[in-house]
Structure 1
Amino acid sequence: MAPSAITTELTNGSSVGATLSDNRPRILVPEKVSAEGLALLQELYNVDTRKGLTADELINIIPAYQGLIVRSETKVTAAVLAAGQKLRVVARAGVGVDNIDVDAATGNGIIVVNSPSGNIVAAAEHTVALLLAVARNVGRADATLKAGLWERSKLVGVEVGRKTLGIIGLGKVGMKVARMAIGLGMRVTALDPYASPDMARQAGVQLVPALADLLPVVDFLTIHTPLLASTLNLLGEPELQRMKPTARVLNVARGGVYNEDALLKALDEGWIAGAGLDVFTAEPPKPGSAAARLAAHPKVVSTPHLGASTVEAQENVSMDVCTQVLEILRGGLPTAAVNAPLILPEEYRRLQPYVRLIERMGSLYTQHFAGGRAGGMIGGRRFELVYRGELAGISNTRPLFAALVKGLVSSISDAGGRDVNIVNATIIARERGIAIDEKHVRDDAAGGSVVTTYASLVTLRSRGPKDPEATPPSSPAAQPEQQQQPQHQAEEEQVIEGYVSGKAIFISKLDRFAANFHPAGTLLILHNYDEPGKIGYVGGVLGGHGVNISFMQVAGLNDAAAAVAAVPAAAAVDDGPLLLGGGGHKAREALMILGVDGEVTQDVLDDLRKAEGILDVSLVKL
């Protein structure tokens, strides 16, 4: 168990992480959330716990926060989300998100996460508790005994063994309830068009195709579905009239799946024998409403939304959503985003290194090809992400798409790309005029580069108008091929390829040059003619400015055999011939890629560009 969060009381009655810093992102928690999860956040963020906020107060203070963690009471409306200009994530410490305007969050590029698994056991156990309580009149028995009465003869119940339990929604909670009910000796019949027949059969559950096949045969009925347009008022008067008069219904899912007026009538008219209710359309029920009358009905065992109210469940959901908030604010992936494709843990582990690779590829593109100029070589260009090998078989690539957008804009945005996530990546790309296509190539031979060395290969290809500002300076040693190119050519293509080895990421191709380097730290990339003296000159310039070389690599044209040679830093001042088949001929181009430590100023770049045969120099910080 994580250590409890340390908080301090503010003068206005709220509490905040003890190490408050105005420079750290802030997270608002307007409801009680287990301290074990909040402790995960307080090392990096300011966590403000402010209970009892009105709707207007929430709108007034939300502009200062990057994260919002709620349970079921706080209404996260479109107005709240519009006011939260800094908001990047809204987390629901639980399953249902009825209290969050998910569409408005998506429109504002805000990720909504929940904890679909944290309270499975608690919800299932509470369902069985209500089942037994309504079968044996536990609620009425307790109330009458506390009132000094002894009414044994009026409280005769029924056994649940050998009875039929009907389940609508055979998801994680529904399946858990089914297994518990079978353990009590019950027969279980279920309705779920998305359930696996094999899994149901293995669990001992009989699936039926329609509601009409389920209702007449069950002795107990429980529903475990989200509240959607298709499930709102799922059981009304016609459905309840089809049930046995001895049947009892349960609801530990969402208020509204039963029509409350119809359920009240069914109990009063004797269409069914009883109900166990944990959730209502309005919580707490409004006085005089159908929900309030149901809660007070003698045939109903009612509880105040306790389905997830166990110590263990509260710790689980808190740890779950706080871990996701932590990952999102650090630029990572959520595991249960409501408004984005669900990322399973195994997918997360597979995708995470490629997320880092593609983000670095995007940042490398902007800094190397566009020189980091805002808008230069980015807006108006067409990008293509090509996945080859094992990666081509992954259908959920939205995290990879978002990683590319984040990388492309990171060096030219005030937020450094930290505002890009899997929800708003498409919006940001559209705003910046970036068109991105994704291509899955399972037949590697058809895709150009054949994946032989790597399990997966990622290619980033860009096409668009030539940027005159990015054209390398002319050189006396210009290639004949370059001189013969038609002047009216206005479009060009640039390519970056990369791969993952273990947890390490590598660039294997940069434009026309074969390479093999780790995209990290400060890099100097020199486009030059491969001839003796270049390495010594570069080493001398950097040494003269106090810049140390940590590694160096020369990348040759991609069509040259043995195109890449790695050079130790100690050899960087050696004037010896490091040639890639060019024999010193100035028409042979190469890239010199250096990892450097120290400040690379404009004077350093200017001195490097002075040498004859150095066509261009780019500074890349990754």
Structure 2
Amino acid sequence: MAEMTNGEREWSLQTPATLPEGYDKHHIVFLEAVHLPLAELPFPHTIEKHLRTSPDQVAERIKTATIVISNIIDVKPSDMGKAPHLQLLAILATGMGWVDKPYCAKRGVSVVNAPSANIPAVSEHFLGLYFASRKRIAVIDEIVHTGDDWVKAGSLTKRVWPQGPPLGCSQETLGIIGYGALGKRIESLCKGIGFNEVLIAERKGVKEIREGRVQFEEVIQRCTAFCIVCPKEPDTINLIGEEELKMMRPDALLINVARGGIVNEAALAKALKEGWIFGAATDVLDNEPGGPGTTPLLPDLEKGEEEVPNLIITSHVAWFSENTIAKLQSINRDAMTAFVEGRMYDPKVRACVAVHDGKIWK
């Protein structure tokens, strides 16, 4: 008989998760059911579903849970501290930058997510935002729908593009900030539609440049379009601020499909109002959901605040597609089932595991 590898030996030693005293099945609390339904779960459980949960409601709602499912709502250590039976935090999303992994490892709370489930949808949304922004489709649509300016003037080109014609794909140099699976997919799509050049940014402040990467500051200065797809971590908050925006070309287009807060919203609003860059689009905000008065990017016009020009905002829907939902549901189901059955070392689910057995896996 062939000798087992370390991974196989670890897997063979796994046993089903032990239920807390007084529990005969797992109790699941689903904090944000508004986004999508769960797949049917094959293990015994009870479940408490909440369409939406505010930060001040988390602790009370999870206090009896053994498993908590969250999408984007932050489950803080202070919340978990009031949930003595919590064993698993399941993130029904790819991004999990808010998770305090060291706390979870020390506390013995396992963490799983759904990596790469949204890659096709988000990369396609990036392209939609790129074309809508560069072609100023929303601006033209509003002008045509709300007045007869086109009839009177005969052409809207000078009004919509006072600085001259917009760039085409063959003139674009794309800077990708964040080169995981999503960044690689966007690179492939943009090369496929004829972008002139794609630069992969090295981490900000790093002196040793990896092969295939370009110094962060050089990317900021050279590129005509930017794709923000990096995780939101302590070192990427306000990664793009006033200094970086002033370094960009006047024809630059900034697109964020990662997380709010990576681009400083006040600085971006100022840059667009003062014309430092051509335009911007974002699918994410620092505080969500957003509306007039909740961010510098969405001023309250009824209070006389100045509108931010050349900006498109979508409501964190880049991920939303039939394909993404099916993948999120199946990955979430399989990861939770593996935890309950003691199969977290199974190669089929290991990519989902962020924290387990008191160790940080990714």
TM-score normalised per structure 2: 0.78
Tell me if 1:45 matches 2:45.
yes
The whole-number CA distance in structure 2 between the counterparts of 1:310 and 1:138 is 22
The Cα offsets for residues 257-281 of structure 1, whole Å up to 9 and x where unpaired, read as: 1121211111122110100111111
Residues 119-130 of structure 1: pairs in structure 2 closer than 5 A = 119-130=118-129
Q: Residues 196, 45 of structure 1: CA spacing in aligned structure 2 closer, same or farther, 3 A cutoff?
A: farther
After superposition, the CA RMSD in angstroms is 2.7
The Cα offsets for residues 38-76 of structure 1, whole Å up to 9 and x where unpaired, read as: 21x15532233222345454423423221111111x331
The whole-number CA distance in structure 1 between the counterparts of 2:315 and 2:125 is 12
Shift of 1:317: 1.6
Match in the other structure for 1:250: 255
Residues 307-326 of structure 1: pairs in structure 2 closer than 5 A = 307-326=318-337
Q: Residues 163, 55 of structure 1: CA spacing in aligned structure 2 closer, same or farther, 3 A cutoff?
A: closer
- The SS at the match of 2:170 is coil
Out of 239, 257, 266, which is 2:244 matched to?
239
**Any conservation in 1 of the 2:282–2:314 contact (CA below 8 Å)?**
yes
Q: Residues 48, 259 of structure 1: CA spacing in aligned structure 2 closer, same or farther, 3 A cutoff?
A: same
Out of 272, 278, 285, which is 1:280 matched to?
285
Out of 217, 222, 226, which is 2:222 matched to?
217
Out of 194, 198, 204, which is 1:188 matched to?
198
Q: Residues 296, 90 of structure 1: CA spacing in aligned structure 2 closer, same or farther, 3 A cutoff?
A: farther
**Any conservation in 1 of the 2:226–2:255 contact (CA below 8 Å)?**
yes
Match in the other structure for 1:596: none
Q: Residues 218, 113 of structure 1: CA spacing in aligned structure 2 closer, same or farther, 3 A cutoff?
A: same
Residues 388-407 of structure 1: pairs in structure 2 closer than 5 A = none
Please state which structure has a larger fraction of its residues in strand: 1
The whole-number CA distance in structure 2 between the counterparts of 1:58 and 1:170 is 33
The whole-number CA distance in structure 2 between the counterparts of 1:324 and 1:273 is 43
The whole-number CA distance in structure 2 between the counterparts of 1:296 and 1:222 is 24
- The SS at the match of 2:111 is strand
**Any conservation in 2 of the 1:71–1:92 contact (CA below 8 Å)?**
yes
Shift of 1:162: 3.1
Match in the other structure for 1:335: 350
- The SS at the match of 1:249 is strand
The whole-number CA distance in structure 2 between the counterparts of 1:217 and 1:55 is 41
Q: Which runs of 5+ in 2 are unaligned?
A: 1-22, 151-155, 301-305
Tell me if 1:30 matches 2:45.
no
**Any conservation in 1 of the 2:297–2:308 contact (CA below 8 Å)?**
no
Shift of 1:244: 1.0
Q: Which runs of 5+ in 1 are unaligned?
A: 1-21, 201-206, 341-420, 426-622
Match in the other structure for 1:513: none
**Any conservation in 2 of the 1:26–1:46 contact (CA below 8 Å)?**
yes
The whole-number CA distance in structure 1 between the counterparts of 2:167 and 2:234 is 35
Higher relative contact order (CA 8 A, sep 6+): 2
1:188 aligned partner, one-letter code: V
The Cα offsets for residues 441-467 of structure 1, whole Å up to 9 and x where unpaired, read as: xxxxxxxxxxxxxxxxxxxxxxxxxxx
Residues 460-479 of structure 1: pairs in structure 2 closer than 5 A = none
1:422 aligned partner, one-letter code: D
Residues 27-426 of structure 1: pairs in structure 2 closer than 5 A = 27-32=28-33, 34-35=36-37, 37-39=38-40, 41-55=41-55, 57-72=57-72, 74-151=73-150, 152-153=156-157, 154-156=159-161, 157-186=166-195, 187-192=197-202, 197=211, 207-208=213-214, 210-285=215-290, 287=293, 289-293=295-299, 297-333=308-344, 334-336=349-351, 339-340=354-355, 421-423=356-358
Q: Residues 77, 288 of structure 1: CA spacing in aligned structure 2 closer, same or farther, 3 A cutoff?
A: closer
Q: Residues 335, 267 of structure 1: CA spacing in aligned structure 2 closer, same or farther, 3 A cutoff?
A: same
Q: Percent identity?
A: 25
Q: Residues 164, 63 of structure 1: CA spacing in aligned structure 2 closer, same or farther, 3 A cutoff?
A: same
Q: Residues 99, 424 of structure 1: CA spacing in aligned structure 2 closer, same or farther, 3 A cutoff?
A: closer
TM-score normalised per structure 1: 0.47
Shift of 1:225: 0.8
**Any conservation in 2 of the 1:134–1:300 contact (CA below 8 Å)?**
yes
The whole-number CA distance in structure 2 between the counterparts of 1:62 and 1:45 is 15
The Cα offsets for residues 375-417 of structure 1, whole Å up to 9 and x where unpaired, read as: xxxxxxxxxxxxxxxxxxxxxxxxxxxxxxxxxxxxxxxxxxx
Match in the other structure for 2:14: none
Aligned residues: 312
The whole-number CA distance in structure 2 between the counterparts of 1:281 and 1:338 is 26
